[in-house]
Structure 1
């Protein structure tokens, strides 16, 4: 896959986006307190790698796993 970010090695990009908790599986949704924001760390192919409670934590998780985070909306 070609990426528009020439300085980032293929497979090292993570997309960060806010997720509607209602779209998550029941077992995961049951663990999230009502009104909590959910942010996802996603691979380029869309696979969700991690969920966090805020955007800042999502960027931190990506970087801690040697991924270059980018926002999506």
Structure 2
């Protein structure tokens, strides 16, 4: 058993800066520092601000023979 509070506990996740504001992350809202920053990020996802552009398939189709 642990004999005292002198033992160092290794966190499961390393502390990282919040991706929104740069403050240290909190365990409850990881990787964010607060519920506010977490909600800001969620709002961006819901509005479609994070979009990966796709290729334009109108000019190309997979059924066309190679030229």
| TM-score category, normalised to shorter length | under 0.3
Higher relative contact order (CA 8 A, sep 6+): 1
Structure 1 length-normalised TM: 0.24
Normalized per residue, which structure has more strand? 1
TM-score by length of 2: 0.25
